[in-house]
Structure 1
Amino acid sequence: MNINSENLLESILESLSRIDYIHAEDIPNIDLYMDQVTTLMDSGLSSSKRYEEDKILTKTMINNYAKNNLLPPPDKKKYSREHILILTFIYYFKNILAIKDIETLLNPLTKTYFQTENQPSLSEIYEEICSMEKSQIPDLSKEISAAFARAEESFADAPEEDRHYLQMFSFICSLSFDVYVKKLLIEKLLDELPDFQKSQKKEK
């Protein structure tokens, strides 16, 4: 991939390093109306937008999440800090999982920790998960760099006018296969989650 390959890789890794999330302490302590929620989500997760005009979450999406049991209903049309945390989880999961799978994953979380005194608090769970994910970025950068290097070595005998495209295609396929395999693994874990929970309750 001789088309500014170093610049391309540098740009990819830079975008990875800019990935951020909404910090629990940045969420107001007062309940928010829908318009305030969408504004907060849009500004807090702007680094994940593909295009500037993209919307992170819309009113219709949020209403549908409540109807599909992904999100506890608002209190008098107002959303709490914990609603925002759950919405952030949903935002990331919706890109790779079916609605039913997200419900399977989040229902135990909302039943046990949403607006309860149970420990750890939902905010603490959220922050620990986000911190763990941020800590993975250096290793992900190394994996992406290695995949990029392998792609640059592919199709060495292809005609020069086709080689750059084929190498880029190879790189995209490599990344896509990684996503595909991990998605299969996540779905398998979700299928086993209800039985796992039952076995845990029996042990108690």
Structure 2
Amino acid sequence: MENLNELVENLGLERKIELEDIPNIDLYMDQVIQFFENTYSSTKRNKDDKILTKTMINNYAKGKLLFPIKNKKYSKEHIILIGLIYQLKGALSINDIKLTLDGINEKILKEEIELGEFYQSYLNLFDHNVGNIRDSLLVRAEEVKEEMNRLEDKGDDYLEKVLLILSLVNISNMYRRVAEKLVDELGE
């Protein structure tokens, strides 16, 4: 697992949509899809994976994850929300995402939120989290090495990778469960 740093570098963890990257003009759906594809294509696990599709966007709109679209054009605020949905959908159900974003959509409609400012706060945390994950991965890898030294099959790279996978998934599940609990509190 000496290549862990290289692996992390190739993940594109730092890929995100900056506020200044979002066009100040409204976009049609195909333009939105292309915008997301251009931004996140390097993060795909498989080259055939889709970042965003028309069906996804239509489902977000029908499911009221986005405030209403006008004249088939998506505003900067819509793009921010689609970006947040893109990040949330890896861990939360569509219903949980809707619950999470309901209040933001309401505040947008009532003009009670400066969404760009809120999104910039999210981006600041995003950058901080990328640094934390890099540091944390090195710690997890060291912990796995320590556990491997306790086993008879000390030098088995396969077992070492499986232990790291199990540890990372365990942490991911714990964070997801905490997030779900916070979503439940939003719904109360």
Structure-2-length-normalised TM-score:
0.91
Aligned to 2:49: 54
Q: After the TM superposition, list the runs of 4 or more consecutive aligned residues in structure 1 that deviate by more than 4 angstroms.
A: none
Gaps of 5+ in 2: none
Contact 1:24 1:127 in 2 (8 A): yes
- Cross-structure match for 2:177: 184
Unaligned runs of 5+ in 1: 196-204
Aligned length: 187
The question of 1:101 aligning with 2:119 is answered no
Please give the alpha-carbon distance, in whole angstroms, between the structure 2 residues aligned to 1:98 and 1:18: 22
1:168 to 161, 170, 179: 161
**Structure whose CA Rg is larger:** 1
The Cα RMSD (Å) is: 1.9
CA deviations 1:32-90 (Å, max 9, x no partner) are: 11110100011122343222332210001100111111122321111111110000000
Picking from 71, 76, 79, the partner of 1:76 is 71
The one-letter amino acid of 1:105's match is T
> In the aligned structure 1, how far is the partner of 2:20 from the partner of 2:30?
20
Aligned counterparts, 1:20-169, within 5 A: 20-114=15-109, 117-119=111-113, 121-156=114-149, 157-159=151-153, 163-169=156-162
Q: Is the contact between residue 18 and residue 47 of structure 1 (CA under 8 Å) also seen in structure 2? A: no
Q: Judge conservation of contact 2:85–2:97 (CA < 8 Å) in 1.
A: yes
2-side partners of 1:143 and 1:167: how far apart? 17
Look up the match of 1:200: none
- With normalisation by structure 1, the TM-score equals 0.84
